Amino acid sequence: MPVATAALPGVPAAFTGRDEDLARLMPVLDPSAGSDLPVVICAVSGLGGIGKTALALYAAHRAVAEGWFPGGTLFVDFRGYDKDPVTADQALLTLLDGMGVRSSDLPQTANAQYALYRRLLAEERRSMLLILDNASDPEQVSPLVPGTDHHRVLITSRDRLTDLDARLFDLDVLKPEAAAELIDRSLRLSDGSDDRAAREPDAVAELVILCGLHPLALRIAVGMLRKRRYRSIASLVGELREAEDRAGALGVRPVFEVAYGQLAPEPARLLRLVCLAPTAEVSGEAAGALAGLGLEQTAGLLEELATSHLVTPVPTGGDVRWRLHDLVRAFGASVVAGDADLRAEGEAARERILEFYHRWTTAADDRLNWLPGMPEPERFADVAEALAWLDGERTGLVGAAQWAREGRHASLAVKLTVRLTRYFDWRRYYDEWSGLARIAQEAAHRAGDVVGEIDAWDRLAMALREVDKPEEAIAAHRHCLALLQAVGDDRRVANAWDGLGLALTVAGRFEEAIDANIRVLDLRRAAGDRRNEGNSWNHLGIALHEAGRVEEAIDAYTHARDLYEAVEDRNRAGMAWHNLGNALMDAGRLPEAMDAYGNSRVRHREFGAWYHEGTALWALARAHEAAGHPVEARTAWLDAAEAFARADATEEAAEAQSAADALT
Q: Could you report the per-residue pLDDT of 445-475, keeping only the tens digit for each?
A: 988 889 889 999 999 999 898 888 899 999 9
Q: Are residues 463 and 578 in the same domain?
A: yes
DSSP codes of every residue in 486-549: TT--HHHHHHHHHHHHHHHHHTT-HHHHHHHHHHHHHHHHHHT-HHHHHHHHHHHHHHHHHTT-
In a domain, 564, yes or no: yes
When pLDDT is cut at 50, 70 and 90, the band that residue 251 belongs to is: low
Q: Does 458 share its domain with 530? A: yes
Query: At 325, which CATH number?
Result: 1.10.10.10
Residue 110 falls inside a structural domain: yes
- At 247, the pLDDT band (50, 70, 90 cuts) reads low
- For residue 343, pLDDT over 80 is answered with yes
pLDDT of residue 405: 83
Residue 140: give its domain's CATH number.
3.40.50.300
Residue 6: the pLDDT is: 58
Residue 245, pLDDT > 80, answer no
Same domain, 425 and 537: yes
Question: Residue 250 above 60 pLDDT?
Answer: no
The Cα diameter of the chain in Å comes to: 91
The verdict on 507 and 546 lying in the same domain is yes
Amino acid, res. 397: L
Residue type at 655? E
pLDDT tens across 638-647, in order? 999 999 888 8
Query: What confidence category does residue 37 fall into, taking pLDDT thresholds of 50, 70 and 90?
Result: low
Q: Mapping DSSP to helix (H, G, I), strand (E, B) and coil, where does residue 136 land?
A: coil
270 and 254, same domain (yes or no): no
CA 346, CA 294: separation in Å to the nearest integer? 18
Considering the domain architecture, whether residues 117 and 238 belong to the same structural domain is answered as: no
My answer on whether 498 and 469 are in the same domain is yes
d(CA 449, CA 33): 61
Confidence of residue 7 (pLDDT cuts 50, 70, 90): low
Sequence-distant (6+) residues with CB within 8 A of 120 are: 96, 99, 101
Tens-place pLDDT, residues 290-337: 999 999 999 999 999 998 889 988 887 678 899 888 888 989 999 999
Which of 303, 318, 338 represents a domain boundary (last residue)?
338
pLDDT surpassing 80 at residue 607: no
Q: Sheet harboring 128-133: ordered strands across? A: 72-77, 128-133, 152-157, 40-45, 167-170
Q: Look at residue 14 in the predicted model and tell me its pLDDT.
A: 75
Q: What is the pTM of this model?
A: 0.76
Which of 132, 154, 170 terminates a domain? The answer is 170
Overall domain count for the chain: 4
> 35 versus 349: which is more confidently predicted?
349
Q: What pLDDT does 38 receive?
A: 56
3-state secondary structure of 99: coil
Residue-number span of the structural domain to which 250 is assigned = 176-261
Q: How many CB atoms lie within 10 A of CB 110?
A: 16
What are the pLDDT digits (tens) for 157-206?
Answer: 998 888 888 888 898 889 999 999 999 999 998 899 999 999 999 999 99
Give the pLDDT score at 35. 62
State the CATH number of the domain containing residue 427: 1.25.40.10
Instruction: Find the mean pLDDT for residues 579-585.
Output: 97
The answer on 555 and 515 residing in a single domain is: yes
Tell me what the mean pLDDT of segment 31-45 comes to. 73
Q: What is the pLDDT of residues 118-148, one digit of tens each?
A: 999 888 888 899 999 999 988 999 999 888 7
Q: Do residues 396 and 498 both lie within one domain?
A: yes
198, 227, 261: which is the final residue of a domain? 261
Per-residue pLDDT band at 1 (split at 50, 70, 90): very low
Domain presence at residue 37: yes
Any domain includes 464:
yes
Same domain? For 149 and 183 the reply is no
What is the pLDDT at residue 2? 52
Above 90 in pLDDT, residue 100? no
What's the average model confidence in pLDDT over 516-537?
Answer: 91
Average pLDDT, the chain: 89
Domain-embedded: residue 367: no
Helix spans in 338-429 (H): 340-368, 383-401, 410-419, 421-427
Percentage of the residues of the chain whose pLDDT score is greater than 90 = 57
Q: Same domain, yes or no, for 405 and 539? A: yes
**Rounded CA gap, 401 and 440, in Å?**
8
- Judgement on whether residues 163 and 180 belong to the same structural domain of the protein: no
